[in-house]
Amino acid sequence: MTANEYSSLYKKSPDSAYDALFEEYCEYVYAIVYNKLRGAASREDIEECVSDIFADIFFGYDTAGSFAGDMKGYVGTVAKRRAINAFHSLTARSGHMSSDDPDEAFMNMCSDTNIEADSDTAETRKILLEKINELGEPDSTIILQKYYYERSSGEIAKLLSMKASAVRMRASRALEKLKTTLAAAGITM
């Protein structure tokens, strides 16, 4: 949706403009918020953040502005910033330490995490994403939607304008290709 389309729709009916904006960008905004809040927030917190983002866009967007391009960048920026603020807010509430006992505060700061293992995991994820992207379209999208976003073949089929059976077949073949390229890179699944 372009800014001109949104502005003209807004002039006709603000409710229709809001509905169209939500319909167009709901999945995009939800993906951004989910990626930022998945470890720190409940599903309700994530959905509330998504609602807040659309309210921010609806009430904060200048429909009389001179921008005429695609609104995806604007929507993505608002979503990312609101999600980061929500993350900081949620982690500040849950991670608040009492400074009454300095020894207890120090022990709370110490971590049981293994930095070396975390680094290896991050590197493995980076390689995995690179290899998935090397599969090309629509295979990379199918793999990400199926295994990262946990969407069904039917949902992916609608998203990509394909048949569910074709999605399943492509997913199977893409997974085999991915296993081969990861094995060549020294990563086993």
pLDDT digits (tens, 9 = 90+) for 58-70: 887 766 665 667 7
The identity of residue 142, as a single letter, is I
| pLDDT for 118 | 58
The CATH class of 116-184 is: mainly alpha
Q: How far apart are CA 179 and CA 182, in angstroms?
A: 5
Contact 143, 177 (CB under 8 A): no
* Mean pLDDT confidence for 40-63: 84
Task: Report domain extents, the chain.
Answer: 3-94, 116-184
Would you state the CATH architecture of domain 3-94? Orthogonal Bundle (1.10)
